[in-house]
Amino acid sequence: MENLKILLVDDEEEFVTTLAERLELRGLQARAALNGEDALHMIEADTPQIVILDVMMPGLGGLEVLKRIKARHSQIPVILLTGRGSTKEGIKGMQLGAFDYLMKPLDIEELIKKMQEAIKSQP
């Protein structure tokens, strides 16, 4: 779990940077991307071990980004972030190959637990 390379994708800068900082405090390597295009570029440049992806983003939407990631790097587990009450998107994401979905505002411990599960489930 130590030094796990994580890519956080969310259009809310305040949210994503703070979350990255918190994860780093816990000894994880977290980088943030503010939109879908950036995220895809960053994956190509330095492939993360796990992607945390917000579903609701302007421009390239979360589900679209998910599809593209899965198309090229099907081995990378993706955990989706949805707004409260938007479980529909979460379920759709799981059908597209996401590992699971979490609702915002999220509990960081729960996120870490989910990430561990995701890594463990890797072949």
Partner 1 sequence: MSSETILKPHLKNTLRSGDILFDKRNQKIMNFKNLWAGLTKGLLHESGHEASNRYRILRRNIFILMILITIIPLIIMAVIYQHEYHSSIKQEIVIPLQTLTNKTKHTFELFFEERLSVIRFIASSYSFEELSNQKTMNRIFNVLMNEYCCLVDLGLINNKGIQLSYAGPYNFLGKDYSEQKWFQEVVVKGIYISNVFMGYRKFPHVAVAVLRRTEEGPPLILRATIDTSKFDDIIASMGLNPESDAFLISRSGIIQTSSRFYGEIMDHCPLSFPRGNYEAIVTEATDPRGREILVACAPFSSAEYSLVLVKPKSDVLHTWHTLRSRMILIFISSVALIILVVFKLTDTLVKRVKEADEKRELTYREFQHTHKLSSIGRLAAGVAHEINNPMAIINEKAGLMKDLVAYDSNFQNKEKFLGLTDSILKSVERCSAITHRLLGFARRMEVQLVELDLNELVQETLGFLEKEALYRNIELILHLADNLPRISSDRGQMQQVFLNIINNALAALEDEGEIVIASWEEDSDTVGVSIRDNGVGMSEETLKSIFDPFFSTKQENGTGLGLAITYGIVKKMGGDIKVKSKQGEGSIFTVYLPKKAKIGPGE
Q: Select 76 or 115, whichever has its Cβ closest to partner 1.
A: 115
**106 binds partner 1 per the rule CB under 8 A:** yes
Among 91, 96, 112, 119, binds partner 1 (CB under 8 A): 91
* Contacts (CB under 8 A) with partner 1, residues 70-89: 83-88
Burial annotation 80-103 (CB, 10 A radius, 16+ → b, else e): bbbeeebeebbebbeeeebbbbbb
Q: Select 1 or 25, whichever has its Cβ closest to partner 1.
A: 25
Q: 60 near 81, Cβ under 8 Å? A: no
**Where does 1-123 have alpha helices with state H?**
13-25, 36-45, 62-72, 87-95, 108-120
Q: Select 58 or 123, whichever has its Cβ closest to partner 1.
A: 58
**1 binds partner 1 per the rule CB under 8 A:** no
- Write the burial class of residue 79 (CB in 10 Å: 0-12 exposed, 13-18 middle, 19+ buried): buried
Q: x/- site string to partner 1, residues 12 to 51, per CB under 8 A?
A: x-xx--xx-xx--xx-------------------------
Q: Which is it for the CA torsion 29, 36, 51, 72, positive or negative?
A: negative
Residues that bind partner 1 (CB under 8 A): 11-12, 14-15, 18-19, 21-22, 25-26, 83-88, 91, 103-106, 108
